[in-house]
Amino acid sequence: MFRVAFPLIYVDREALLFYPSCTSRIRIILHTQHIIEMNANNSGRKSPKLTSPRSAQHMDREKKVLVIGHKNPDTDSIVSAIAYAELKQIMGFANCFAARCGNVNLQTEYVLMRFEVPPPEFINELIPKVKYYMSHMPTTVPRDIPLWHALEILNKGNFKMLPIVDGEGRLQSILHFNAFAQNMLKKIDPNRKGIFPTSVSHMVKTLGAQPVVIFEEETIFSAQIVVAAYEFDAFKEHLDAMSLPNTIVLVGNRRDVHEYVIERQSRVLVVTGGSSVSRELKKLAEEKRVSILISPYDTSTTSWLTLYSSPVAHTGDTALKPLREDDYIGTIKTQLMESVSRSLPVVDRNDKVIGILSQSDLMRDPHIEIIMVDHNERAQAIDGIEHYRIQEIIDHHRLGNDHTNHPIIFINKPVGSTSTIIATLFQDYRVPMRKEIASILLAGILSDTLILHSATTTEKDRHMAEFLSSITDLSIDTFGKNIMEASSLVAHESVDYILSLDMKRFGEGKFAFTVSQVEVVTFKEIMDRKDDILEGLERLQGRTGSLFSALMVTDITELDSILFIKGDRFFISHIRYPKMDEHVYLLKGILSRKKQLIPILTEIIRNSQ
């Protein structure tokens, strides 16, 4: 049997396809950042190790795949997305999720409520945002660690910057090499006093110093370094001239200086080069409350490291503004480019750091990919889709898609609904369907084929509907009527709402047009609102800049349709359907917008040019 021998395994997503049953056991993903943190925190001053530093901030970029239907989603579109995402998940693609880019209509709402299936995640648009590009699980540093430790992490991890955070992970400031250099310039400027904040405990950590006597080790004070390099009398003069309480004196093996420094009550005496102090001096230091540390380094190195012992918070850049995950890439590009490190932290509503976005992240593919169901034309797809890789398209409409940069799974069958295709895929992959999934797929078929009456209905749809009906105990006729009744309510809604509910845009040559569709139980309810409808169509045509806008109203009991149309007069004069009224035509026996109406309309456009 397959067993995991080591705790860290990285598994390629492709591999999961072949071992779907192993997924839960082997999906352990290695985050290099964690290792850096572990090394930096656990092994004291040892260098963090990294095998491939450049990839460090991107190990976590697992892609999220959205299974999504068209705008103005109908029942087929919504249930296809739900069912196909479930099939993909069962097959091991745990990162596949159903999504929708519009409200669920009344009919779909009825179907989902009846089988207690939650609607897909609502995503209004996919215009590139920070969250689709940023790296998650960023390496951050606590605000109180010594600057030296933070610099080690910054340098060894090959990071461009490090967010400095408080105890709750909230952003305080940002450490980058420029900020560090500016801060250091201030500290070493001979014209300034060279005062910097530190504490005895920070010095112990940074120097790896041996404490001999320590007082108030956690208290941060404004320190000043004195190196006892002078001859004794000159040193005494120099020390006397300083304000003593916060002085740190660095000196090697010079007993006379040790004693004087303790007598004069400097704050910290650092004995360099690993020298020792006598027991009497230790006692004297305890009396005078002077801390004594033994540094393993020579005086010059000790001096530098002491400067680096400041809490990192004092070196951070506070002028840089962080990003938010919902910021549009288009609006933050300048901010990112102008940030010194071309890399900025991303914070949530509580200012907690949740990611990092760097310029190089924008060069990479975003970590969202798309599976389109029930549509293939970009005009019907969620806004911004062109920025993402399309993995698959599963559809039953005419082809109107652009080229792709990669080979993709493309399933397009001339059947009555995408639900028919999805249900077939369950069978092909030998994956049993939950009863709820079978029920909503049946609803998808019955909704799109007008209870198997529309001209688009094929033998495959009939067979699949029979099959789904048998495993769900739902009668095709009764269930079909329930579904249709749930949607006929739209006749009482506002005209703009009726027109928007199932509106599709089409293009023919340089012209665009819209055709909305609605089903009714009797024509009477819609004919009562004829003038309203025509006014609404005129508004829609103007708003969308279309050649014309039309509404196809289908009577699902009589199985006829009516076409309301407003727009270009020359075009309309070429329509040959029987006229019921000005701008109203009878479509005898026509039920399918896609198969029966659109080809005629596009032909009229071509002929009327």
Give contact residues for Mn ion (rule: CB under 5 A). 76, 374, 417-418, 448
DSSP letter string, 392-423: EEEE-S-------SS--EEEE--SS-HHHHHH
Q: How far is the CB of 578 from Mn ion (least distance, A)?
A: 28
Long-range contacts, stretch 148-155, CB < 8 angstroms, 24+ apart? 148/206, 148/305, 148/308, 148/309, 149/40, 149/205, 149/206, 149/312, 150/175, 150/312, 150/315, 151/175, 151/180, 151/308, 152/40, 152/45, 152/47, 152/48, 153/36, 153/37, 153/40, 153/48
Alpha-carbon gap, residue 201 to 309, rounded angstroms: 9
Are β-strands 353-358 and 343-347 bridged in parallel, bridged antiparallel, or unpaired? antiparallel
> What's the rounded Cα separation, in Å, for the pair 172 and 599?
61
What is the number of other CB atoms lying within 10 angstroms of the CB of residue 507?
15
Nearer of residues 95 and 412 to Mn ion, judged by Cβ: 412
CB 72 within 8 Å of CB 377: no
Nearest to Mn ion of 71, 160 (CB atom): 71
Nearest to 105 by CA among 70, 65, 139: 70
Report the residue number, 60 or 392, with the smaller CB distance to Mn ion.
392
Q: Which helix (H) or strand (E) holds 389?
A: strand 389-395
| Closer residue to Mn ion, CB minimum distance, 131 or 593 | 593
Q: Closest separation between CB of residue 440 and Mn ion, Å?
A: 13
Burial class (CB in 10 A: 0-12, 13-18, 19+), 27: middle
First-residue to last-residue Cα distance in the chain:
70
Q: For residues 448 and 555, which CB has a smaller minimum distance to Mn ion in the complex?
A: 448
Whichever of 74 and 327 has its CB closer to Mn ion, that residue is 74
Smallest separation (angstroms) from Mn ion to the CB of 503: 14
Q: Give me 488's structure tokens.
A: 């006929």
Pick 367 or 594: Cβ nearer Mn ion: 594
Rounded Cα distance between 159 and 151, Å, is 10
Please, what is the minimum distance in Å from the beta carbon of residue 482 to Mn ion? Answer: 19
Instruction: Read off the tokens for 487.
Output: 């949607």
> How far apart are CB 419 and Mn ion at their closest, in Å?
8
Nearest approach in angstroms of CB 412 to Mn ion is 12
In terms of CB distance, is 76 or 86 closer to Mn ion?
A: 76
Sheet architecture: strand order including 353-358: 135-136, 353-358, 343-347, 323-324
Quote the least distance from Cβ 76 to Mn ion, whole Å.
4
Q: How far is the CB of 396 from Mn ion (least distance, A)?
A: 6
Half-sphere exposure of 190 (CA within 13 A, CB side): 0
Single-letter amino acid, residue 137: M
Which residues share a beta bridge with 513? 506
Q: Which is nearer to Mn ion, 310 or 380 (CB)?
A: 380
Cβ 69 to Mn ion shortest distance, Å:
8
Residue nearer to Mn ion on the CB measure, 401 or 417 = 417
Q: How far is the CB of 397 from Mn ion (least distance, A)?
A: 7
Which residue number is nearest to Mn ion in terms of Cβ? 76
C-alpha to C-alpha distance for 8 and 25, rounded to whole angstroms: 12
Is residue 87 within 8 A of residue 425, CB to CB? The reply is yes
